[in-house]
Amino acid sequence: MKINILHAGYCTAPEHIAIQGGGWRSIHFPAMFALMRHPRFGAMLFDTGYSYRFFDETQKFPRRFYRWMTPVTLREEDLIVNQLLTFGLRPRDITHVFISHFHADHIASLPDLGWSRFVYMPHAFGHLRNLPPSEDMKHAFLRGLIPPDFDSRSQEVDMSKPVFLPDEYAPFKMGYDLLGDGSIIGVELPGHAHGQMGLFVRDENDRLFFFVADAAWLKRSIVENRPPHKVANLLFPDPEAYRSTLENLHTYYLTHPETYVVPSHCEETIRGLEAPLE
């Protein structure tokens, strides 16, 4: 399938929070999404990046703290609906959205995609569904970003039907065939958020991409097996699982140098892939 790496806006935060030993300077964290055009299933997305709804949902306290903690920049041309137009696509052309997890910078454009099927790990949304609104900020969740007909268009990953992965995916041993044709394999990447899902996707030129969402904020964290500052543990539901996932990503990176490993917020990686690959 054809794969394009894009981003819809960015936030800023100090580098030393994202990686131990990083500097105090503020750096950009693009909100990556991927456009995948499948010969049978049509145009699909991995996540959606920011939209103007993020600002609508963070106008009032306490949710305004979200905007203050991670200041967001978003231009009109960054909106996913406008970027789709450059590919001759409209929102109704998007058949599936694969949701890595439900933090606002990954789902803010779901309401714009009124014809899509939403694919995600069941526990990624299950633990958020019945939270009292007072708990939303603790999970970086903005419930106003969930479309009213979300449940009717949801396609939860059937975790009772895992597939055993060949050696080319080691140390990842089990995944989920999300389309039934082997073209998109979902794997759980625990630690950063409940039910966080990454994707293995192969393009038309047989290049393998591994979208790892927020299992690492910077590619350098994976390359050097260097986790975020310890203060970030306060944001993670399972810091120990985060560390284990990062170690697995590090091992994978060292043993599969031909794979494009793509964290969702690494500016260097995303900028390098936004231009068409030769």
pLDDT digits over 228-264, tens only?
Answer: 999 999 999 999 999 999 999 999 999 999 999 999 9
How does residue 277 score in pLDDT terms, banded at 50, 70 and 90?
low
Chain centre distance of CA 278: 25
- Ranges assigned E (strand) in 99-207: 117-120, 154-156, 163-164, 174-177, 184-188, 197-202
Q: What is the pTM of this model?
A: 0.97
Alpha carbon separation from 73 to 11, 28, 86, 173, 273 (Å, rounded)? 6, 10, 21, 38, 21
- Residue at 192: amino acid letter: H
Write the pLDDT tens digit of every residue in 150-200. Answer: 999 999 999 999 999 999 899 999 999 999 999 999 999 999 999 999 999
Please provide the average confidence, as pLDDT, over all residues in the chain.
96
Write the pLDDT tens digit of every residue in 91-120. Answer: 999 999 999 999 999 999 999 999 999 999
The pLDDT, as a whole number, for residue 250 is: 98
How does residue 276 score in pLDDT terms, banded at 50, 70 and 90?
low
The pLDDT, as a whole number, for residue 274 is: 84
Cα dihedral 55, 56, 60, 61, rounded to 10, equals -50
Chain centre distance of CA 267: 14
Write the pLDDT tens digit of every residue in 4-39. Answer: 999 999 999 999 999 999 999 999 999 999 999 999
Structural domains of the chain, with CATH? 2-274 (3.60.15.10)
* pLDDT for 278 beyond 80: no
How does residue 130 score in pLDDT terms, banded at 50, 70 and 90?
confident
Number of helical H runs and strand E runs in the chain? 9, 13
Query: What radius of gyration do the chain's Cα atoms show?
Result: 17
Write the pLDDT tens digit of every residue in 35-52. Answer: 999 999 999 999 999 999
Write the pLDDT tens digit of every residue in 259-274. Answer: 999 999 999 999 999 8
